[in-house]
Amino acid sequence: MTTVENEKPRYKYIGSDRKRVEDPRLLVGRGGYIADLKFPGLLHAAILRSPVPHATIRSIDATEALKLPGVVAVVTGEDCKAHMNPCMNFGPSSIPQFPLAVDKVRYVGEAVAAVIAESRYIAEDAVELLEVEFEDLPAVTNPVAAMEPGAALLHDGHGSNIGYERTFEFGDVAGAISGADLVVEDTLHWGRSAGMPMETSGAVARPGLNGVLEIYCNSLNFSYFSFLIAGALKLPSNRLTMNPVPAGGSFGSKFTAHKVPTLAGFLALRTGRPVSYVEDRLDHLMNSDHHASDRYYDAKMGFTSEGIITGLDVDVVDDYGAYMQFGVGTHGNAFSQIVGPYGFRNVKYHLRAVLTNKCQQGAYRGFGSEVHNWVLERLIDKAAVELGLKPEEIRRRNFITNDQFPYKIPGGNVYDSGNYPAVLDKALGMIDLEHWRSEQKRLREEEGRYIGIGLATTQERSVFSATEFWALNDNPDFPLTSSPESATVTIDPAGQFQLLLHCQSMWGNSPETVGTTVLAEEFGIEPETVNVRYADTARALPGTGPGGSRYTVMLAGAVRGASRKLQRKLIDIAAHSLEVAAEDLELVDARVQVKGAPEKSLSLPELASTAYFFALNMPPGMESGLEESYTYDHPYTTLPSADRSDLGVFYPIMGHACHIAVMEVDPDTGTTKFLDYVAVHDAGTMVNPKSLGGHVTGGAAQGLGSTLYEELAYDDEGQFKSSTFMDYLVPTANEVPPFRIGHVETPSPFTEYGIKGGGEGGRMVTPSVVSAAIDDALREYGMRVRELPVKPATIVATVQAAIAESSK
């Protein structure tokens, strides 16, 4: 069910449930995915991955492998050392990374050698024939132990296993905590999961003409960062062309996942032939460029007796794994909404990012802000219980109020707009909590059943600015401030539209639907008639791609910008042809007409014909053709202060959500079941409510996975334990409840049409609301979710311990 506040439609196309223009090709099985690409003479690579967590590579013997008929080459870290520069890296330069391990392996699954053969079957046979000698080093698996003196070092050149440490304080936290009437504290652990799309990352690389290397890949969104891959491959930037390939899902896992295309490119350069490397599921599970956050918290929050938050004190140790390619951007995300939707002003955040023998971290839907939100909401729920306040009441008392926007939070980011009470009220209106609260009592008393109610909110920061990549560092190597998006709109000589997007943006979101909807709004054409293409990097204007829920906002800005330029040209041509002043013309329903006299008009095909074929009918000096491009820069960003007491505005387009879950928990088995679930989101102006609802639902299902099922587990020796989908439990339809979705629309004052991002919020609140519902169901046993995923065994153990205690 989808409900929307009643309002008269402001737009003809934007805001209605239209079919997606991407879907017909996907429904006939022609998604154009990376594994579908075939080139003559294409070779296939398979990778030998490290079976040990930490070791020196003593030798690699490829003799037997190379004897196998069909094997073309074996490439190792030695080749990388000789012929490559380290991969692109936004972390410390003292932690370099190559696509194949150089000298040493640092986690189970790290790539050691690549075999290139005529088929994947042969390549995999040959991988088994490689002989590698490893000299084991002590495995560093516990991030706290990793910081102790004497711990084995992951990177000698870095000199320590602490990749980053810093304390940020905004306001007076000591005062806020010591002056509080109530202080709640908790020790929390958010476990590792990952985006885990059904399609893995992959790339096909082939030598092209003029010494150009062509790489096709599904995992690089920044069109203006491909020079960094060229740099790793020691190619001039104009001799590398990256071709965007649609992806079968990403959720962060393909966000700048550069090792796969870099490796494919390197293998094509080494062999001089086209090479395909598509991860299999094992490759992806243990080495998917990145896993997501793995954080240990000691957190404290102060409250007045009325439940008003006075301050937050967070100490977080993040188990980063073996490399730090994204630096601490996932914590930058936490800073973007560090106070949630609440008005408190005092925050302290002590961060240690620790290197261990595990896969490195990177993006996953929420990019680390969802973890901080869980901590925030866990503490507020604890305080609510101690103060005897309902969860909705304690939140309502702390909300930033509607008259405070735009609102600058501690740390410097700005929330553009919001209406938090409206979202809460809408959610409360969709479910009868009083009924469920009395049912909870009745079922407990009459049937011995345990029902819990959880309610939680989240901010959904959207549209990142590139300053967040480095704002937490004092001396960043490359403090870039651009994160633009581009679009090119062409009306062809017959009057038909082409839309060119300048990045890899089809990840399961609907960039083509968004772009064509905006074009329809601007020109009065039908969205389905537009053809959409993606530029390769030789042609591409700056494009940052999806990520941080930015693409819908940024693309709408780019397409609208290009449309306005094109509209101006059409009107000028029409003015010249019709011999009327341009001010007296307007573009309505795909025609340029005289205001007040619509019978005097020219159609788009007529104007296109003039623009392409009749130069002598054009205004003097005007260029032939009908094509305009526009690069839309971030609508609102500012620099951090030099001392980082203010991190600047970097994530200001702020959505909001409230979820309410009713769950039943079986204390004997630890299993859970949803009885109802309501999710209300405010993503500003909606482009396509059904699509947004789909993203909320899909995101919430992933949040549920992170909360109850999914875990990328390592044992104490550093061995990886989640190497199949039998171990890493992606929720099936049986686990995901029917979420009831509602929307509130608070337009952004800073974006075109008032759109906000909405791609991640679903995942950002489910962990909090499910944790709260489980606690509520088993409150009499002192249940408190402190670690995700919450396993049935943990629930049962808590209940059993409480029973044993009470029977003493």
Partner 1 sequence: MTTTENSPEARYAGDTRTVTLRVNGQEVTREVPTRTTLADFLRDDLDLVSVHLGCEHGVCGCCTVLLDGGSVRSCLMLAVQAQGHEIETVESLSADQNNLHPIQEAFAEEQGLQCGFCTPAMVLRTKEILADGQERTDDEVRHEISGILCRCTGYQNIINAVQNAGRKLRCGGAGGCGSAHDEAKGA
Comparison of 569 and 695: residue with beta carbon closer to partner 1: 695
Of the candidate spans 90-98, 387-395, 690-698, 711-719, the one that interacts with partner 1 by CB under 8 A turns out to be 690-698
Cβ contact 279:178 at 8 Å:
no
Comparison of 609 and 697: residue with beta carbon closer to ligand FES: 697
Rule CB under 8 A: say whether 69 interacts with partner 1: yes
Single out the residue of 66, 70, 600, 644 in contact with partner 1 (rule: CB under 8 A).
Answer: 70
CB of 365 to partner 1, least distance (A): 11
CB of 430 to partner 1, least distance (A): 12
- Coil vs helix vs strand at 743: strand
**Interface positions, 293-322, toward partner 1 (CB under 8 A):** none
As a whole number of angstroms, the distance between CA 467 and CA 482 comes to: 8
Rule CB under 8 A: say whether 690 interacts with partner 1: yes
Residue nearest to ligand FES (CB): 198
CB of 28 to ligand FES, least distance (A): 15
**Interface positions, 758-777, toward partner 1 (CB under 8 A):** 762
Single out the residue of 4, 11, 16, 26 in contact with partner 1 (rule: CB under 8 A).
Answer: 26
Comparison of 35 and 443: residue with beta carbon closer to ligand FES: 35
Single out the residue of 698, 742, 754, 761 in contact with partner 1 (rule: CB under 8 A).
Answer: 698
As a whole number of angstroms, the distance between CA 562 and CA 564 comes to: 5
Single out the residue of 366, 561, 699, 789 in contact with partner 1 (rule: CB under 8 A).
Answer: 699
As a whole number of angstroms, the distance between CA 101 and CA 49 comes to: 9
**What does the DSSP assignment read for 494-543?**
TS-EEEEE-S---SSS-HHHHHHHHHHHHH---GGG-EEEE--TTTPPP-
As a whole number of angstroms, the distance between CA 214 and CA 233 comes to: 12
**Interface positions, 224-253, toward ligand FES (CB under 6 A):** 249
CB of 68 to partner 1, least distance (A): 6
CB of 217 to partner 1, least distance (A): 16
**Interface positions, 396-435, toward partner 1 (CB under 8 A):** none
CB of 26 to ligand FES, least distance (A): 8
Task: Say which entry of ligand FES, partner 1, none residue 411 contacts (CB below 5 to 8 A, set by partner kind).
Answer: none
What ranges in 579-601 are assigned the alpha helix state H?
none
| Contact flags string 199-218 toward partner 1, x per CB under 8 A | x-------------------
CB of 719 to ligand FES, least distance (A): 24
CB of 281 to ligand FES, least distance (A): 8
Q: HEC profile for 115-170?
A: EEECCHHHHHHHHHHCEEEEEECCCCCCHHHHCCCCCCCCCCCCCCCEEEEEEEEE
Comparison of 92 and 546: residue with beta carbon closer to partner 1: 546
**Interface positions, 166-205, toward partner 1 (CB under 8 A):** 195-199
Comparison of 627 and 735: residue with beta carbon closer to partner 1: 735
- Coil vs helix vs strand at 320: strand
Rule CB under 8 A: say whether 136 interacts with partner 1: yes
Comparison of 33 and 612: residue with beta carbon closer to partner 1: 33
DSSP state of 311: E
Single out the residue of 6, 7, 8, 28 in contact with partner 1 (rule: CB under 8 A).
Answer: 28
Residue 145 in tokens: 């132990």
**Residue at 123: amino acid letter:** A
DSSP state of 404: G
Comparison of 337 and 510: residue with beta carbon closer to partner 1: 510
* Strand (E) or helix (H) holding 24: helix 23-27
* Strand (E) or helix (H) holding 397: helix 391-398
Cβ contact 239:215 at 8 Å:
no
CA angle in degrees (0–180, nearest 5) for 151-155-158: 100
As a whole number of angstroms, the distance between CA 22 and CA 252 comes to: 20
Task: Name residue 247's beta-bridge partners.
Answer: none
* Strand (E) or helix (H) holding 131: strand 131-136
As a whole number of angstroms, the distance between CA 322 and CA 52 comes to: 13
CB of 706 to partner 1, least distance (A): 13
**Interface positions, 506-535, toward ligand FES (CB under 6 A):** 508
As a whole number of angstroms, the distance between CA 368 and CA 383 comes to: 24
**Interface positions, 103-122, toward partner 1 (CB under 8 A):** 121-122
Comparison of 483 and 691: residue with beta carbon closer to partner 1: 691
Comparison of 22 and 392: residue with beta carbon closer to ligand FES: 22
Single out the residue of 4, 16, 39, 51 in contact with partner 1 (rule: CB under 8 A).
Answer: 51
**Judging by beta carbons within 10 Å of its beta carbon (0-12, 13-18, 19+), is residue 149 exposed, middle or buried?**
exposed
Total binding residues for ligand FES by CB under 6 A? 3
Comparison of 280 and 780: residue with beta carbon closer to partner 1: 280
As a whole number of angstroms, the distance between CA 537 and CA 215 comes to: 10
| Contact flags string 237-276 toward partner 1, x per CB under 8 A | ---------xxxx-x-------------------------
Rule CB under 8 A: say whether 29 interacts with partner 1: yes
Tell me the longest C-alpha to C-alpha distance in the chain. 99
Rule CB under 6 A: say whether 198 interacts with ligand FES: yes
Backbone dihedral angles phi then psi of residue 284, each to the nearest 5 degrees: -70, -40
For tokens 């794994």, the residue is 321
- Coil vs helix vs strand at 307: coil
Cβ contact 197:247 at 8 Å:
yes
For tokens 């320590």, the residue is 160
- Kindly tell me the sign of the dihedral angle through the C-alpha atoms of 319, 324, 330, 332: positive
Go through 660-671 and write b for each residue having 16 or more CB atoms within 10 A of its CB, e for each that does not: bbbbbbbbeebe
**Interface positions, 490-509, toward partner 1 (CB under 8 A):** 506-509
Comparison of 249 and 421: residue with beta carbon closer to ligand FES: 249
Task: Say which entry of partner 1, ligand FES, none residue 31 contacts (CB below 5 to 8 A, set by partner kind).
Answer: partner 1
CB of 105 to ligand FES, least distance (A): 28
Q: Which residues bind ligand FES (CB under 6 A)?
A: 198, 249, 508
